[in-house]
Amino acid sequence: MSVEPTPLEHLDVLIVGAGISGIGAAYYLQDRLPGKTFAIIEARAALGGTWDLFRYPGVRSDSDLHTFGFEFRPWREPKAIAPASSILNYLRDTASEFGIDKRIRYNQRVVGADWSSEDSRWTVHIERTDVEASGNREYLDITTDWIFSASGYYSYDKGYAPAFAGTERFGGPIIHPQFWPEHLDYAGKRIVVIGSGATAVTIIPAMADDAAHITMIQRTPSYILPIPSEDRFAARMRRLFGTDRAHPIIRRRNIAQQRLIWRLSRRFPAQMRKFIRWANKKSLPEGFPVDEHFNPPYNPWDQRLCFVPDGDFFESIRSGKASVVTDRIRTLTEAGVELESGAVVEADIIITATGLNIRPFGGARLTIDGDPVQLHDKVAYRGVMLDGVPNFAYSIGYTNASWTLKVGLLCEYFTRLLTYMDAHGSAVCYPERPSGDFATRPLLDFGAGYVQRAIDDLPRQGSRSPWATSMDYYADVRMLRKSPIADRNLHFAPTRHGSPTAKVSA
């Protein structure tokens, strides 16, 4: 007597990642398509993604929370530039308020997914992450009609750390901020921070008061701009209209302000450079060599600007508790860091704020009917799907504005797409790039080191809509929220057994 195999659990949508993007995707899905079954798979033991992972001193967002927060739930705290603990509380409260926390399955990592054209569904392979320490690995499979990848593009397993000569000679701890030790005693210690990006300028003022001295060693300066931590306009609007009614007003104004700064930077880079230099000079001690330490060799927004709330980074320098050195590292020594100039910066602790690694879609391996999906051969469609990959969507936010602004629009588009498919009896959807000459460029057209290191491993984008990945909120409102779903680039299969080899145009 044969025994039938236990059928796999099946979902309409599987959301991968319980960070800010996954929580947003879950909200829009259950709000607009309440009949859909879905779950959120999270590799870690807690929600929050980046905001639960990073524990280094001072960790915060440098985007204002009125736009970095969700459109559907106001930010209520007075500080618009908020610490990670406040952001994490906001995400937990949001997940709890809308019942999203009950949809999250923790300690489960998606390691691969196989699309079957015969069945018109994905089989998703999941590894239990809470049993790895025991040496045993447990796996489970589920099937789903759609995958929504909300895992961003950072690798949570390993940060980027260049191989410095002499590492073995240095007697103190060398710490990457992504893996901050829980009980690090740095009181009265000499600290070197290697790097000049957002992480470095956050750590330095947070540690400066307790350290003997803290020195930032940078190979290349960054643009650093002081901004108020509290939004006075937002406070006035709240007093006049109350938090809920004021939220869309504050949000619209801050979106316009972010966009204006970015557009001015791109159109008038020399003038924006002068403005930032003026702001830096005003914030630094008299006679400080501004052009040596705060004069990047690139234009504003070729890489992301670093915003520092209330100028706390500059205050650390003015107080004499922190200093900046612009030079290249020759080697680490027993005493600290030897530079190419011959100078030595003494240190008891070295912090390598040298960046992150990119791992698209959480590193999951995708196949279509047994053939591996080569991400570098794929082209993004509307910044949410990949050509030739059925029923797969992803969310990557803005690099020039608040991440969540883009994520919200992508989630809206995703629910519009599913609604369209239900109305037209479609089970399968995928974009197909036009034939003939089709110019492409990097998916993230951005000069940051972590992007450039991974450029060959990422999908591409086209040179025109809908294949160009927009970094303009207003353009995305038109493309993702208002434009028709059906176009000549998007193909649907009205019944099962659909695949990229069996096209039915919408």
Residue at 396: amino acid letter: I
**pLDDT tens, position by position, 309-351:** 999 999 999 999 999 999 999 999 999 999 999 999 999 999 9
pLDDT score at 8: 87
pLDDT score at 147: 98
> Does the pLDDT at position 447 exceed 70?
no
**pLDDT tens, position by position, 408-431:** 999 999 999 999 999 999 999 999
Residue 87 near residue 51, CB atoms below 8 Å: yes
Residue 126 near residue 293, CB atoms below 8 Å: no
DSSP for residue 123: E
What pTM was estimated for this model as a whole?
A: 0.93
pLDDT score at 73: 97
The span from the CA of 309 to the CA of 79, in Å, is: 10
% the chain with pLDDT above 90: 79
Distances (CA, A) of 446 to 70, 153, 256, 301: 25, 14, 21, 8
pLDDT score at 448: 65
pLDDT score at 134: 55
Across the range 471-496, mean pLDDT stands at 91
Residue 273 near residue 300, CB atoms below 8 Å: yes
Across the range 471-480, mean pLDDT stands at 94
Residue 165: what are its φ and ψ, rounded to 5°? -60, 145
**pLDDT tens, position by position, 77-105:** 999 999 999 999 999 999 999 999 999 99
Across the range 489-497, mean pLDDT stands at 79
pLDDT score at 506: 34
Across the range 214-225, mean pLDDT stands at 96
**pLDDT tens, position by position, 101-134:** 999 999 999 999 999 999 999 999 999 988 755 5
> Does the pLDDT at position 3 exceed 50?
no
> Does the pLDDT at position 358 exceed 90?
no
The span from the CA of 458 to the CA of 363, in Å, is: 11
**pLDDT tens, position by position, 234-279:** 999 999 999 999 999 999 999 999 999 999 999 999 999 999 999 9
> Does the pLDDT at position 505 exceed 60?
no
Q: What share of the chain is helix, strand, coil (3-state, %, to 5)?
A: 35, 25, 45
Higher pLDDT, 505 or 352: 352
Residue 216 near residue 297, CB atoms below 8 Å: no
Residues 6+ apart with CB under 8 A from 316: 204, 205, 208, 214, 322
pLDDT score at 132: 57
> Does the pLDDT at position 170 exceed 90?
yes
Distances (CA, A) of 126 to 36, 49, 122, 285, 317: 21, 18, 12, 55, 48
pLDDT score at 18: 97
pLDDT score at 357: 80
> Does the pLDDT at position 446 exceed 70?
no
